[in-house]
Chains A and B, each alone.
Chain A
Amino acid sequence: MKIEEQPTTVIAVAHLIGRVEQFRKGGFRLVQMNATQVGDEFEINYSFEKDYRFENLRLIIPAETEVPSISGMYWGAFVYENEMHDLFGIAVKGMNIDFNGNFIRTKVRYPFRNPTFQGEGPCQRK
């Protein structure tokens, strides 16, 4: 049995701000944003909720595409946008607080983009 329905709508980058504005005006809260690398592309999910109704917007973009920030509508989005930049190297334009790559300090630049596994122990080599 499904706990809840989770509709996802794939949209173009050009429509992102307009669609997020609709959620904002509709009284939805921003639950999370996340990125997934699928081949040479990134899927970026924007999750919203109102009265336990959970909905997602999805961008599918080439790796070097710049995406607009939604922090003008959802102020708290800066944590997710800086995280996406620091871990995946996704360029986000217009963030209200831009840490310029210093929000999450990692030894490896953009570690979640084509991650490598170094220093593995014996149990991983089985």
Chain B
Amino acid sequence: MSKKIVVPFGPQHPVLPEPIHLDLVLEDETVIDVVPSIGYIHRGLETLVAKREFTEYVYVAERTCGICSFIHGMTYCQGVEQIMDLEIPARAHYLRTIWSEYSRLHSHLLWLGLFADAMGFENLFMNSWRLREFVLDVLEETTGGRVIQGSCKVGGVRRDISDEKLAAMAGDLKSFETELSDLSEVFLHDDSLKSRLVGVGTLSRTDAYDLGAAGPVARGSGVAIDLRKTGYAAYRELRFEPATESAGDCYARCAVRIRELFSSIDLIRQAVEKMPEGEIEVKLKGMPDGEYFSRSEQPRGELVHYLKGNGTKHLVRSRIRTPTLTNVPSLVKMLQGCELADVPVIVLSIDPCIGCMER
């Protein structure tokens, strides 16, 4: 029987933009067990609800993550609006949906670049991030911010997008989609990439469901859970189906994200087409008194903001459950039995956002 050794992975590692630590228990080159550790950059943002009025805390919520900041802000605002029984204008719902989908495009392209980089495919990394610039430019033009948008507020949104600009955005998506198709061809059909991804880090459908996997990790294993189906924002009026794959390996998770890129483009087009006229915000009356689990679909999966108010200007509790935290048990499972050389790719395949997790 081979001798067991423990190899530390992280918290600093070339494929990790942020710190997470894994103790890998190895027999020869095979990982037989994994013990994760987090908490290197825990910021305690949730306790700031005691110091920020509920209308101000949206700025904190947005800064939970530097990639899906808009969706954090929107999910927080949506939760407060649900507690206050506030009906926001339809146009605000549609604008939130558009910015959410641009955030998803930006996040998935960022991940594709990092994923390619982890496998030593520098050219693919650069092309993914070149395409991502198009998305960031749109976010900057429409909100003023490339990463932190600051366009969501309790009661609606701060900025409108003119009909001319919306039409231009929809038009620009044509060339973007063409370039994305070329990029997808490489990710999905290149032999060297497939040899690193197919059959690697497999998570069965049963394990994904039982372990509470979220987002592309769950959908890559055939679990068709997508919170957009609950109909928040304008999703109840738009057509789409969750992208799923059945293999549960790194390739499947990559394929799900690529299909979601095209799905996001379609959702943006639908939202532009159906964009209602009217106001973009309503005036607030009173203070939040009650609680709500505000849920949304982040690029990495299900996001939950639990909010509890007591009728004062400060909330009693904000608890942010991010998808990366709930994907940690799934990561442990998919690493068991893999080769040591595959660990970096498998870790990246869940698209870990440690900044989110360490909110």
Mark out the residues of chain B between 208 and 260 whose CB falls within 8 Å of any chain A CB in the assembled complex.
209-212, 229-232
Rounded to whole Å, the gap between the CB of A106 and the closest CB of chain B is: 6
Mark out the residues of chain A between 61 and 95 whose CB falls within 8 Å of any chain B CB in the assembled complex.
74-76, 78-79, 83, 86
Determine the chain A residues whose CB is within 8 A of the CB of B292 once the complex forms: 6
Decide: B326 and A76 in contact? CB cutoff 8 A: yes
Binding site for A on B (CB under 8 A): 35, 37-40, 42, 44, 46-47, 50-51, 78, 82, 87, 209-212, 229-232, 292-293, 295, 302, 304, 306, 308, 316-317, 319, 321, 325-326, 328-330, 358
Decide: A2 and B82 in contact? CB cutoff 8 A: yes
Chain A: number of interface residues, binned into ranges: 35 or more
Known: A2-B82, A76-B212. A117 touches B51 (CB 8 A): yes
A11 contacts the other chain (CB 8 A) = no
Known: A54-B295, A111-B44. A74 touches B308 (CB 8 A): no
Decide: B210 and A111 in contact? CB cutoff 8 A: no
Tell me, in angstroms, the Cα distance from A99 to B210 when the chains sit together: 22
Determine the chain A residues whose CB is within 8 A of the CB of B329 once the complex forms: 75-76, 78-79
Chain B residue at minimal CB-CB distance from A48: B212
Determine the chain B residues whose CB is within 8 A of the CB of A36 once the complex forms: 306, 308, 316-317, 319
Decide: A52 and B229 in contact? CB cutoff 8 A: yes
Decide: B330 and A112 in contact? CB cutoff 8 A: no
A sample of 28 cross-chain residue pairs with beta-carbon separation below 8 angstroms, ordered by A number, consists of A30-B212, A31-B212, A31-B302, A31-B321, A32-B321, A36-B316, A36-B319, A52-B230, A76-B211, A76-B328, A76-B329, A76-B330, A78-B329, A79-B325, A79-B328, A79-B329, A102-B39, A103-B38, A104-B38, A104-B39, A104-B42, A105-B40, A106-B39, A106-B44, A111-B47, A115-B44, A115-B47, A117-B47
Decide: B210 and A106 in contact? CB cutoff 8 A: no
Decide: B306 and A38 in contact? CB cutoff 8 A: no
Decide: A29 and B210 in contact? CB cutoff 8 A: yes
Known: A6-B292, A34-B321, A52-B229. A86 touches B39 (CB 8 A): yes
Rounded to whole Å, the gap between the CB of B246 and the closest CB of chain A is: 18
Give the interface centre of B40, B42, B231, B325 by most chain A CB atoms within 10 Å.
B42
Rounded to whole Å, the gap between the CB of B277 and the closest CB of chain A is: 20
Question: Could you say which of A1, A75, A79, A111 contacts B326, with CB atoms under 8 Å apart?
Answer: A79
Determine the chain B residues whose CB is within 8 A of the CB of A76 once the complex forms: 210-212, 326, 328-330
Determine the chain A residues whose CB is within 8 A of the CB of B328 once the complex forms: 76, 79
Question: Could you say which of B50, B293, B325 contacts A6, with CB atoms under 8 Å apart?
Answer: B293
Tell me, in angstroms, the Cα distance from A103 to B42 when the chains sit together: 11
Rounded to whole Å, the gap between the CB of A113 and the closest CB of chain B is: 11
Decide: B293 and A56 in contact? CB cutoff 8 A: yes
Tell me, in angstroms, the Cα distance from A2 to B86 when the chains sit together: 10
Determine the chain A residues whose CB is within 8 A of the CB of B232 once the complex forms: 3
Decide: A3 and B230 in contact? CB cutoff 8 A: yes
Rounded to whole Å, the gap between the CB of B130 and the closest CB of chain A is: 36
Tell me, in angstroms, the Cα distance from A1 to B166 when the chains sit together: 27
Determine the chain A residues whose CB is within 8 A of the CB of B211 once the complex forms: 75-76
Decide: A31 and B304 in contact? CB cutoff 8 A: yes
Decide: A112 and B44 in contact? CB cutoff 8 A: yes
Tell me, in angstroms, the Cα distance from A24 to B44 when the chains sit together: 31
Tell me, in angstroms, the Cα distance from A111 to B316 when the chains sit together: 16
Determine the chain A residues whose CB is within 8 A of the CB of B358 once the complex forms: 104
Rounded to whole Å, the gap between the CB of B68 and the closest CB of chain A is: 17
Known: A3-B230, A76-B211, A99-B37. A105 touches B42 (CB 8 A): yes
Chain A residue at minimal CB-CB distance from B236: A3
Rounded to whole Å, the gap between the CB of A81 and the closest CB of chain B is: 12
A40 contacts the other chain (CB 8 A) = no
Cβ proximity bits A47-61 to B, threshold 8 Å, 1 near / 0 not: 100001010100000
